[in-house]
Amino acid sequence: MKLHHRLWVVWSIGLAAYLVGVMHRTSFGVAGLDAAARFHAAPAMLAGFVVLQLLVYAILQIPVGVLLDRFGARKLIVLGALTMAAGQLVLAVAADLPLAILARVLVGAGDALTFISVLSVVTSWFPPRRVPLMTQLTGLIGQLGQVLSAVPLAAVLHGPGWTPAFVSAAALGVAVGLAAFAVVRDRPPGAPAPPPAPATREVLHGLVCSWREPGTRLGFWTHLGTQFSGQVFALMWGVPYLVAGQGFSTGAASAMLTLLVLAGIVAGPLFGEFTARHPFRRSWLVIAVIAVTVAVWTAVLAVPPPAPRWLIALLVVVLALGGPTSMIGFDYARTFNPGHRQGAAVGIINMAGFSATLTVSLAVGVVLGLAGPGGYTPEAFRVAWTVQYAVWALGLGGVLVARRRARNKMASEGVVVPPLRKALAARRATPERQDVPDGPPGSAPPRGSAVTRGPGTPRSR
């Protein structure tokens, strides 16, 4: 098989593993009300299932990043797929809380192994110029796993029942795990072998160096501020909110989750192309998406329920933008860290959004529980969703501080990023220019970009 064709086959199998992983991750969201009845769980306990799953995911991100640098992507993708399948099989037969909790722990652990390993495949197999776009496509096409959980899995759940639904999910997980074992390779044929695995002290030093890099922290706050709202909606509280808080039917609520995925798939390539063409303006897209998300949520919560259906649809579309925007965090990891530290940097960044997701998921459940036995009420949901504002403030503040420090470091290396208003003015004066990057921030700026070199270096054209 030609290398070009093999590249797409390897990526497709890795993508399939991630897509099925997203289905496993979000399966409990569509089964939330059924799980409440099956396990006699209150809202806070129900939230605890997802919080525990995400806690395991978040805690494992840095160790998985280290394991990725040491053992490669293929082994971790296979192990992740089989671990999640085991979790779904346990959930299929669980009749009490302890087994259900074990099931979600296994799903969280397997999920933690998958995404950053698939991103490593993208980085190793694709040319650097295409990595931002392929990262977006990987993340966004992978979100079709939410459609698998919202439509076919939900149909089996509400038809044949709980056990057939989760046994089917487990079987699909085993299938993609075997496919990954057979097809996926860590790097293209002929690519240089990775350096020997570092000692433990060097690993810890690499983690510290990754965190000290301002670009890693910029990616961390980017991921934290943009991902959580859509994830909380898709993973746990979206369907209960739409059904009990906004008067949707179960089918209409599932359709909204499908809209969330489709809107993200449309936005992903556009955001990826913007990131590739304007790498020095990525943070402005992050800030804009956070601001729009806050504004639309505020509008929805300000309207006495039920809100107009068009406003809920707009909210879902805006929530979909958080996924592709959070991928910019991984692009910061790629462009600000050397290759041998990228696994650790991606793990640090990926931990941010999921830590925020589990915190907000639990907080919403606690607020609903405090509302009393009938916690699933429109007014209780209006109050519960307000816990998001503190996380948005934290994420936005972190982005602004980390961006300033990253740009200060770039300036010390001779790359000066002028204010946006000056860049726009320069672009209007010479409209034929395009910000197409030849390399990451810190390298030579792209021809025609609005970035200038510091003292002693020539001005970019």
User: The CATH number of the domain where 84 resides is what?
Assistant: 1.20.1250.20
- Any domain includes 94: yes
Distance, CA of 461 to CA of 448 (rounded, Å) = 5
Please report where in the chains the tokens 């700026």 appear, as a residue.
445
Q: Residue 112: which pLDDT band, with cuts at 50, 70 and 90? A: very high
User: Strand pairing partners for 453?
Assistant: 415
Which is higher by pLDDT, 139 or 429?
A: 139
Provide the pLDDT for residue 450: 43
Distance, CA of 38 to CA of 142 (rounded, Å) = 29
DSSP 81-150: HHHHHHHHHHHHH--SHHHHHHHHHHHHHHHHHHHHHHHHHHHHHS-GGGHHHHHHHHHHHHTHHHHHII
Q: Residue 455: which pLDDT band, with cuts at 50, 70 and 90? A: very low
On the question of pLDDT at 390 being above 90, the answer is yes
Average pLDDT over residues 203-217: 85
- Any domain includes 419: no
Element (H, E) at 288: helix 282-302
Average pLDDT over residues 175-189: 94
Q: Report the domain count for the chain.
A: 1
- Any domain includes 425: no
Token pair for 221? 């706050």
- Any domain includes 439: no
On the question of pLDDT at 27 being above 90, the answer is no
Among 62-66, 77-81, 367-371, 445-449, which range has the highest average pLDDT? 77-81
Provide the pLDDT for residue 197: 61
On the question of pLDDT at 452 being above 60, the answer is no
Measured CA distances, 82 to 15, 149, 181, 361 (Å) = 15, 18, 11, 26
Average pLDDT over residues 440-457: 40
Average pLDDT over residues 161-190: 94
Measured CA distances, 86 to 80, 83, 104, 174, 329 (Å) = 10, 5, 10, 9, 31
Among 13-17, 43-47, 94-98, 206-210, which is the least confidently predicted range?
Answer: 43-47
- Any domain includes 354: yes
Angle formed by the axes of helices 309-336 and 250-277, nearest 10°: 40
- Any domain includes 11: yes
DSSP 160: T
Q: Residue 422: which pLDDT band, with cuts at 50, 70 and 90? A: low
Provide the pLDDT for residue 187: 86
Angle formed by the axes of helices 214-232 and 200-212, nearest 10°: 80
On the question of pLDDT at 441 being above 80, the answer is no
Distance, CA of 150 to CA of 338 (rounded, Å) = 39
- Any domain includes 398: yes
Domain that includes residue 311, residue range = 3-187+202-410
Residues 6+ apart with CB under 8 A from 67: 76
Q: Residue 322: which pLDDT band, with cuts at 50, 70 and 90? A: very high
- Any domain includes 146: yes
On the question of pLDDT at 428 being above 70, the answer is no
Q: Residue 2: which pLDDT band, with cuts at 50, 70 and 90? A: confident
Provide the pLDDT for residue 438: 34
Provide the pLDDT for residue 194: 67
